[in-house]
Amino acid sequence: MLYSLSILLYSAGIRLASLWNPKARLWINGRKDWKTRYLQLMGKANGKKRIWVHCASLGEFEQGRPVIEEIRKSYSDVFIVLSFFSPSGYEIRKNYDQADAVVYLPPDTVSNARQFLDIIEPELVIFIKYEYWLNYMELMGSRKIPVLMVSAIFRPGQVFFRWYGQRWKSLLHKISHFFVQDPRSAELLERAGVQHFTLSGDTRFDRVITIRNKFEPVEAVEKFCGNAKVVVAGSTWEEDEEVWDHYANIHPETIFIIAPHEVYEAHLRQIGKLFRDNTRYSLLLAGHTNGNAHVLIIDNIGMLSRLYHYADICYVGGGFGNGIHNILEAAVHGKPVIFGPEYEKFREATDMLELGAAFTVSSALELEEIASKLMNNDDLRKSAAEKALQYVESKAGATEKIMAYIQEKRLLTS
């Protein structure tokens, strides 16, 4: 009852926020009349095996993407439904061509879960990383629908392992199989009495390697960088940008590429005020640019993973907020990575810090010290870069293990 009430209150809060918040408005509008729309979408399945893949947002999609694309490659008679909880995932990937239908996940009420599953009728369900919806999970368990949890990661403080979390702990036994990222997660599952897991690693390593191997040059950026040393700061928030402004402004000989997490106009203008002698990528393409510019502000979404290729050092944002964004996109290019202090929930960050492939900072002063060391010490920079690349390549192979399980258990064969 408390859980159901919390879902209703959350939905009501989003509805209220939609009056002024664009993301909340997308969340609400994307779920309007969902039953009718989803029935129409599923009418195109034409007897194919139905697979439902669920991601919270864009980051989880990147983890699930290698599995989706390998399934698409290996099985011709499947109909893939991709769902998102967050607008930041759905709005960017709603036209993803490897899925047959891309939808919002309806709020997790008993009624919604029953009707959604009745419409989708999945033969296999794949959830990515950490989405555990009580009503959906319990209903799939009662219907004996195989559910795989991919790139799962667990921490001791999660509700599954608390004295008051027995209802949530029971969900772990309703998942058909876990593919966990690290030994700590495997140990926590064992303590909870769960044996159905594979220590597979994180599918994000497979994804970033694929992206790197398909690298296409960005000619305008390549020309802008010339022979200068380059800093690429990706997925930045205001706090990240503020710790860089002094260093960037006193080093006009260095090229700075700022790719913010959000590219709405007010934020772009704010970045422009922080960094002198700047230009935007759209202006660069149009030929309308400041000839003295050494700071390039990226005013689009989708090219960040290619930008890291041009860096001497990379900075990944989010570490002064809720947590860092994807540092593997930078590391796979063989680049040393810097990030803020909120990184403890990310195993790859702690691993790379221990290896000397990454560096963490908690202030602008620390950032300037680390950046100066890396820029002025070629041996240190190259050593960190090599360790970053070796780390990523050593962790590949999770997708192969997941596909081997699907084939072995004949989850997609009649």
**pLDDT tens-digit readout, 90-108:** 998 999 999 999 999 999 9
> DSSP letters of 356-411?
TSEEE-SSHHHHHHHHHHHHH-HHHHHHHHHHHHHHHHHT--HHHHHHHHHHHTTT
Residue 84 confidence (pLDDT): 96
Q: CA 152 to CA 300: how far, in whole Å?
A: 31
> DSSP letters of 10-59?
HHHHHHHHTTT-HHHHHHHHTTTTHHHHHHHHHTT-TTPEEEEEEESSHH
pLDDT by position in tens, the chain (length 414)? 788 889 999 999 999 998 999 899 999 999 999 999 999 999 999 889 999 999 999 889 999 999 999 999 999 899 999 999 999 899 989 999 999 999 999 999 999 999 999 999 999 999 999 889 999 999 999 999 999 999 999 999 899 999 888 888 999 999 999 999 999 999 999 999 999 999 999 999 999 999 999 999 999 999 999 999 999 999 999 999 999 999 999 999 999 999 999 899 999 999 999 998 999 999 999 987 777 899 999 999 889 999 999 999 999 999 999 899 999 999 999 999 999 999 998 889 999 999 999 999 999 999 999 999 999 999 999 999 999 999 999 999 999 999 999 999 999 875
Residue 383 confidence (pLDDT): 97
Three-state secondary structure call for residue 337: strand
Residue 398 confidence (pLDDT): 96
Q: Which two tokens stand for residue 317?
A: 């944002």
Burial of residue 366 (CB within 10 Å: 0-12, 13-18, 19+) is middle
**Residue 62: closest CA among 407, 399, 347, 414:** 399
Q: Where in the chain is the domain with CATH 3.40.50.2000?
A: 211-394
Residue 285 confidence (pLDDT): 92
Q: Which strands, in side-by-side order, build the sheet including 337-339?
A: 278-280, 295-297, 255-260, 230-236, 313-316, 337-339, 358-360
Name the CATH topology of 211-394: Rossmann fold (3.40.50)
Residue 198 confidence (pLDDT): 96
Residue 58 confidence (pLDDT): 87
In this structure, are residues 89 and 117 in contact, taking their beta carbons and an 8 Å threshold? Answer: no
Inter-CA distances, 336 with 151, 319, 386, Å: 24, 16, 8
Residue 69 confidence (pLDDT): 96
Rounded (10°) angle between helices 378-394 and 364-376? 100
Q: Residues 204-236: pLDDT tens digits?
A: 999 999 999 999 999 999 999 999 999 999 999
Residue 138 confidence (pLDDT): 93
Residue 288 confidence (pLDDT): 78
Q: CA 313 to CA 304: how far, in whole Å?
A: 14
Q: CA 404 to CA 398: how far, in whole Å?
A: 10
Residue type, 6: S
Q: What is the largest CA-CA distance in the chain?
A: 65
Residue 414 confidence (pLDDT): 55
> DSSP letters of 102-114?
EEEPPP--HHHHH
* Helix ranges, 98-255 (H): 110-120, 134-142, 166-172, 183-191, 203-213, 219-225, 238-249
Q: Which strands, in side-by-side order, build the sheet including 49-55?
A: 101-104, 78-84, 49-55, 124-128, 147-152, 177-180, 197-199
Q: Which two tokens stand for residue 150?
A: 């991919």
Q: Where in the chain is the domain with CATH 3.40.50.11720?
A: 31-201+397-408
CATH number for the domain whose boundaries are 31-201+397-408: 3.40.50.11720
Residue 61: how many CB atoms within 10 A of its CB? 26
Residue 325 confidence (pLDDT): 93
